[in-house]
Amino acid sequence: MSLRRPAGLRPAWLAAGVLTLLCAMVLALAFGSVRLPPGGVAVEMLNLLPGVRLDSGLTDREVAILTQLRLPRVVLGALVGSMLALAGAAYQGAFRNPLADPHLLGVAAGAGLGVTAVIVLRATGEVTELPIGAPMAAFVGAVGAVALTWLLGAAGGRDRSPATLILAGVAVSAFLSAAQTYLLQRNVESVREVFSWTLGRLSTAGWHEVRVILPYVLVTAVIVLTQRRELDVLTVGDAEATSLGLHPQRSRYLLIIAASLGTAAAVSASGLIGFVGIIVPHTLRLMAGPSYRALLPLSLLFGAAFLVLADLVARTAGGDAEIPIGVVTAFLGAPFFVLVLRTNRAVPS
């Protein structure tokens, strides 16, 4: 039986992804409590390039708002969105499950427990100086949850099948969520702060958060993108993939580890933002086809654009009160499940 080679990434789709991301960033930088002209914003962004100096027409105050307040947040949103979408596509390919998302292996529950523990300790005053803050606690908790899922998945034998890892992730998530609930029940004064984090936010003071997660984003992107051809082979099944010279389990482990690392870094900086890893990859499958050679790089670009626009809605739709970005993505993502279920049989995963 001959297998038809999946279509690769078309230049038109790559150009569309880059253009969409650039337009989303300009809009997010232009609109807010202080409205800036989009044309001036675009010109000022060009001025950030070495050797470029153009007159944007913006005042010094507007330039400061643009470069010191909005730009770090927009860049952070782009990094987080790209990681969540890329990890979602990688998980769906590795598990051959169209509903897999970055929170599948207990990442969300582990991050939530880590942040809750730090907030509770700080609120009770039992520990005056903590060695790590909430973002780092989220990262440690997320990575620890993935490691626990990995170990639990091997408890029944040496073969960690996709189904076994999914079940292990569900069990770990339930256990860690129960531990988080117990901590909150014993420390009700911390509930508001914990829930504020779990609903997701992209508030940032300068470029610190961007610098912290950027190395993890780069490592994750490089590893996952280099595995895009292997993901196309995995879609035909492990037996067929082995006959084609691929080591399915090794490729799957590498993808899961890399995607979990990127997700943990994103969660540590933004809180729990759901549905990005489902909405973006599935929309791209319907539009650009199921090949992971195209799906992964496009998820990186369109995921970044999606979260930047979602954050723009969160900042502006509620007037003076900012809406948690997790609420915005959930509002879009919940009905999207209907589309996923209706098209699951027609569109390969």
Condensed to tens digits (0 to 9), the pLDDT of residues 253-302 reads: 899 889 988 998 898 888 889 889 989 998 998 888 889 999 999 999 99
CA distance 332 to 323: 14
pLDDT of residue 311: 94
Six token digits for residue 134 = 């909430």
Report in angstroms the alpha-carbon separations of 307 from 20, 26, 76, 277, 297. 12, 13, 10, 11, 16
List, for residues 25-80, the tens digit of each pLDDT value.
Answer: 999 999 988 899 999 999 999 988 888 888 888 898 999 999 998 999 999 999 99
For the CA atoms of 298, 225, 164, 334, what is the dihedral angle to 10 degrees? -20
Percent of residues, the chain, with pLDDT higher than 70: 90
In this predicted structure, the answer to whether residue 348 has a pLDDT above a threshold of 50 is no
Average pLDDT, the chain: 85
Q: Which amino acid is at 349?
A: S
The predicted model gives 334-341 an average pLDDT of 71
Six token digits for residue 66 = 């643009």
Q: Give a yes or no: residue 30 inside a domain.
A: yes
Q: By C-alpha distance, which of 206, 200, 197 is closest to 73? A: 206
CA distance 44 to 67: 9
CA distance 340 to 315: 28
Six token digits for residue 273 = 């933002």
The verdict on pTM exceeding 0.85 is yes
Q: Give a yes or no: residue 6 inside a domain.
A: no
pLDDT of residue 156: 59
User: Longest Cα pair distance anywhere in the chain, in angstroms?
Assistant: 67
Q: Give a yes or no: residue 53 inside a domain.
A: yes
Q: Give a yes or no: residue 272 inside a domain.
A: yes
Six token digits for residue 290 = 């199921």
Instruction: For residue 323, give the 3-state DSSP assignment.
Output: coil
- Of residues 104 and 106, more confidence is placed in 106
pLDDT of residue 268: 84
In this predicted structure, the answer to whether residue 109 has a pLDDT above a threshold of 70 is yes
Q: Give a yes or no: residue 179 inside a domain.
A: yes
pLDDT of residue 122: 79
In this predicted structure, the answer to whether residue 157 has a pLDDT above a threshold of 70 is no
Which CATH number do you get for residue 326? 1.10.3470.10
CA distance 267 to 101: 13
pLDDT of residue 55: 86
Q: Give a yes or no: residue 4 inside a domain.
A: no
- Of residues 111 and 297, more confidence is placed in 297
CA distance 273 to 169: 18
Q: How is the chain split among helix, strand and coil, in percent rounded to 5?
A: 70, 0, 30
In this predicted structure, the answer to whether residue 6 has a pLDDT above a threshold of 70 is no
- Of residues 219 and 130, more confidence is placed in 219
Query: DSSP character for 32?
Result: S
Q: Give a yes or no: residue 233 inside a domain.
A: yes
The predicted model gives 7-36 an average pLDDT of 91
For the CA atoms of 245, 250, 255, 256, what is the dihedral angle to 10 degrees? 150
List, for residues 192-217, the tens digit of each pLDDT value.
Answer: 888 888 888 887 768 888 998 999 99
Task: Please give the tally of structural domains in the chain.
Answer: 1
pLDDT of residue 347: 45
Q: Give a yes or no: residue 348 inside a domain.
A: no
Range of the domain at 175: 11-343
pLDDT of residue 344: 58
CA distance 66 to 340: 38
Q: CB neighbours of 292 closer than 8 A, spacing ≥ 6?
A: 6, 89, 93, 228, 229, 231, 232, 235
pLDDT band at 349; cut points 50, 70, 90? very low
